[in-house]
Amino acid sequence: MKPHPIKAVLFDLDDTLWPLIPVLNNAEAVLYDWLAVHTPGITRQFSNAQLRDLRSELLPTDPQYQYNLWALRHATLTQACHMSGENDAMVDQAMAVFSHARNAVTPFDDVLPGLASLRERFIIGSISNGFADLEAIGIAHHFQTSLAAHHFGCAKPDPAIFLAACEALSVAPHEALYVGDDPAMDVQGAQNAGLQAVWMNRFQRALPQHIVPAASCTNLHELDAWLKRA
């Protein structure tokens, strides 16, 4: 049972409201095809896998890359341009191409009806470490606030981003429920900030024994039903 009445429900996005891996794979493929036309030196020197390796090499070189994945991808493309003799003035256009494809998500079937039902009774928000654009996706109207790590300046599981979302919704942390797929970043992170947490387990994953969410569910219909019962 929930220890306190819930006023707000906050959601993770990737792998909670839509599957992430097919979206990223498609976005990287679309970008690579664009690079082959506009910066062919990059694709002559780097495969997509090698660009991922370059991104991993750059990750520890700047603290902001831990929470700003857009900046990390931008820096990776800039470095690839320098290493292949291409013009890095093309990087902003490349990132626009990637971002457009990154926002071509397909929400799980339960998401739109689930959000519509929940927003009749709760304030709805989102917190994400990714850089999906809810306006571009077309579901921003469901959310009263949406915090993204690359804009906010820190990422989950830092308590600050959870607390900022609660402040934006004018609710106390214990009056907010956070729903996400990652046991450590989402469930434990939210609980450490004083929020209640539900684990969204869409992929039949195992939950670490030391992490105990208020509930586990596999879709928003189950979440809605639990909120009505508890």
CA distance 26 to 192: 35
Cis (ω within 30 of 0) for the bond into 159? no
Boundaries of every domain in the chain = 8-18+107-229, 21-102
Q: Which residues contact 204 (CB under 8 A, 6 or more apart)?
A: none
Q: Evaluate whether 12 touches 186 at the Cβ level (below 8 Å).
A: yes
pTM reported for the whole predicted model: 0.93
CA distance 194 to 6: 13
Q: Evaluate whether 214 touches 195 at the Cβ level (below 8 Å).
A: no
Torsion of CA 178, 179, 181, 186, to 10 degrees: 0
CA distance 147 to 157: 13
* Class at the top of the CATH hierarchy for domain 21-102: mainly alpha
pLDDT of residue 3: 56
pLDDT of residue 68: 95
pLDDT of residue 2: 46
Q: Go through 7-23 and write b for each residue having 16 or more CB atoms within 10 A of its CB, e for each that does not.
A: bbbbbbbbbbbbbbeeb
Per-residue pLDDT of the chain (230 residues; tens, 9 = 90+): 445 699 999 999 999 999 999 999 999 999 999 999 999 999 999 999 999 999 999 999 999 999 999 999 999 999 999 999 999 999 999 999 999 999 999 999 999 999 999 999 999 999 999 999 999 999 999 999 999 999 999 999 999 999 999 999 999 999 999 999 999 999 999 999 999 999 999 999 999 999 999 999 999 999 999 999 87
CA distance 150 to 70: 7
CA distance 46 to 215: 44
pLDDT of residue 102: 97
Instruction: Name the CATH superfamily housing domain 8-18+107-229.
Output: HAD superfamily/HAD-like (3.40.50.1000)
CA distance 137 to 5: 31
